[in-house]
A = this chain, B = another copy of it.
Amino acid sequence: MGNASQPIVPHLTTALTGPLQEIEAILLRNQAGIERWFRTQWRETPAPFYCSVDLRNAGFKLAPVDTNLFPAGFNNLNPAFRPLAVQAVQAALERVCPSAGGVLVIPESHTRNVHYFESLATLVEILTMAGLRVRLGSLLPDITAPKTIVLPSGRELLLEPLVRRDHRITVADFEPCFALLNNDLSGGLPAILENLDQTIAPPLPLGWWNRLKSNHFTHYHRVATEFAALVNLDPWLIDPIFRKCGKVDFEKRTGEECLATNIAEILVEMRAKYREYGIDQEPFVIVKADAGTYGMAIMSVKDAKEVYALNRKQRTKMARAKEGHAVRDVMVQEGVYTFETWGPKNAVAEPVVYMIDHFVVGGFYRVHTSRGIDENLNAPGMQFEPLAFAEPCSYPDPNQAPNTNSNRFYAYGVIARLAQIAAARESEEAIRTPAAYKSNDLKKANY
C-alpha cells in the first residue's frame, strides 16, 4: 500500500552513532516472537475498540508519550489504508457486538472544530464501510433537533440529540447494538450516560473524568518491562521515566516541592542513562496534568528550580485543562527528544500511530515548523501539518535495512501496540474495580 504520491517520511537527523537504529534492528530480528507475544497478550486482555498513540523518536530511544482512547485525526490517515481500518472494525465487531447492525457514535461536544468533524466524518465512513448503520448522538445541550453540518471536504454530518429510554441511550427511533464513545469525557461523566444497560466502547471509566495518565504509564512500565525481557532490550529505551504529584495547585503555589523533587530525581536518572549511552544532550522533563488531553497544561523544564519561578501567565496555563477543569494531579515525565525532521525547513515531526481493535491501521506525523525538538507538539492553538504515513506499520520488510521506512514504521507499530496493551490492562482494571464509578455497565465487555 506504499503510495509513491505520498510525501517521503521525515528524516531522522540525530548525529549519534551509538545505539541508533538498535531498537529497530532488535525488533526486526525478533518479529516472529514479538507477534506471537502480542497474540498471547490480546487473548489475555482484549484490546480497546480503538486508540492512537503519540510517539517520540530520539533515535536512541523510542517511546509513547500519550495514549488516546477516544482518537480523532482519522482524516489525517493515508486513504490507501482505509481497507485495513474497515477490516479491523469488522474483527472488532465480532467481539464487541457480533449482532451489531447499527452503532451510535457519541462525538466530542465541539461546535466549530472542522478538523474534528472531518475526523468524525472519516470515522463514520469507516464504520459504514464495515457494514454498520451509523448515527451520531450529540451530548451538546443546544442540539435539540437533528442538525446537518456541511464540511469543507463536502461531506455532511447529521448530529442528533442523544435521548435516554430507561437504561439505554439512542437517537430518534434508532436501535444501536452498542455505543461508540468518541468523546473523552474531560468535562465529567454526563448524567445521561450513568447506569446504562448497554455496551459502551471504550468503557466510560476510561474517560478523562476518571482516567489518570500516571495509571496508564504504570501499566505501560510493566508492559515495557515484560516486552524488554522478551527481546533482551534495556526497558528504558522504550519507557519514559515518570513520577506523580497529587494536590498541586499552580495558582495557590501548593505542591511545588513535590514537583521539584520529582523533576530533580528524574533528571538524575536521565543523566545516568544518557552517560551510559553516550548521549550528548541536555535532559528535559515534561510536566503535565495527570488527567486531560489536547496538550493543555503542559510544560517542558530542564531544571527543578523552574517550578518555583513560573510567572502568572505560566501558572494560569498549567492550572486549567480542557473544559476549564482545575488541575490537581500532575505527572512529571522524562522528556524524549524528537529527532525526526521534515522538509527543507527541518520542521519537527512526531509520529502518531492508530489502532482499531489490536490492528495497526496507519498513522501520520504531526509536523511543526515553529516548535523545538524538546517541546510538546500537541498543543492548543498550534497548527500542525498532518503527514500521512506511506506505510501501514503492520509489518516490516526483512529484506530492507532497519532504518528504511517500512521497518521504522514497524518499530512504531510495535511500540504503539505496547501502549495499547497498557490501555487494555487499564480498561480491564477500570471494569474490575470501578472505584468511585457506580454504573452497572462496568460489567460489560472490556471495550
**Could you list which residues of chain A lie within 8 angstroms of chain B, going by C-beta atoms?**
1, 31-36, 38-40, 42-43, 80-84, 86-88, 90-91, 93-94, 98-102, 128-133, 359, 392, 394-396, 398
Q: Which of chain B's residues have a CB closer than 8 A to the CB of A396?
A: 129
Q: Which of chain B's residues have a CB closer than 8 A to the CB of A94?
A: 39, 42-43
Count of chain copies:
2
- In the assembled complex, 13 residue pairs joining A and B whose CB atoms fall closer than 8 Å, in A order, are A1-B1, A32-B132, A38-B131, A39-B90, A39-B93, A39-B98, A39-B100, A42-B94, A86-B395, A87-B87, A87-B359, A129-B396, A131-B395
Tell me how far the C-beta of A250 lies from the nearest C-beta in chain B, rounded to whole angstroms.
Answer: 45
Inter-chain contact B82/A84, CB cutoff 8 Å: no
Q: Which of chain B's residues have a CB closer than 8 A to the CB of A100?
A: 36, 39
Inter-chain contact B87/A132, CB cutoff 8 Å: no
14 more A-B residue pairs beyond the given contacts A1-B83, A40-B98, A131-B395, with a C-beta to C-beta distance below 8 A: A1-B82, A32-B102, A32-B131, A32-B132, A33-B101, A36-B101, A39-B93, A39-B98, A39-B99, A42-B94, A81-B83, A83-B394, A87-B88, A90-B359
Inter-chain contact A133/B32, CB cutoff 8 Å: yes
Q: Which of chain B's residues have a CB closer than 8 A to the CB of A88?
A: 87
Tell me how far the C-beta of A156 lies from the nearest C-beta in chain B, rounded to whole angstroms.
Answer: 11
What are the 10 tightest A-B residue pairs by CB atom distance, in nearest-first order? A35-B131, A129-B395, A83-B392, A36-B101, A39-B98, A32-B133, A86-B395, A1-B80, A32-B131, A32-B101
Q: Which of chain B's residues have a CB closer than 8 A to the CB of A394?
A: 83, 86-87, 129
Q: Which of chain B's residues have a CB closer than 8 A to the CB of A40?
A: 98-99
Q: Pick the residue among B1, B33, B129, B131 that contacts A36 (CB under 8 A).
A: B131
Which of A35, A40, A359, A396 has the largest count of B CB atoms less than 10 A from its CB?
A35
Tell me how far the C-beta of A101 lies from the nearest C-beta in chain B, rounded to whole angstroms.
Answer: 5
For the complex, what is the distance from the CA of A35 to the CA of B134, rounded to whole Å? 14
Contact A130-B39, Cβ < 8 Å, known A1-B1, A1-B82, A82-B1: no
Tell me how far the C-beta of A270 lies from the nearest C-beta in chain B, rounded to whole angstroms.
Answer: 33
Tell me how far the C-beta of A378 lies from the nearest C-beta in chain B, rounded to whole angstroms.
Answer: 27
Inter-chain contact A98/B43, CB cutoff 8 Å: yes
Q: Which of chain B's residues have a CB closer than 8 A to the CB of A34?
A: 131
For the complex, what is the distance from the CA of A101 to the CA of B130, rounded to whole Å? 30
Name the residue of chain B whose CB is nearest to the CB of A406.
B129
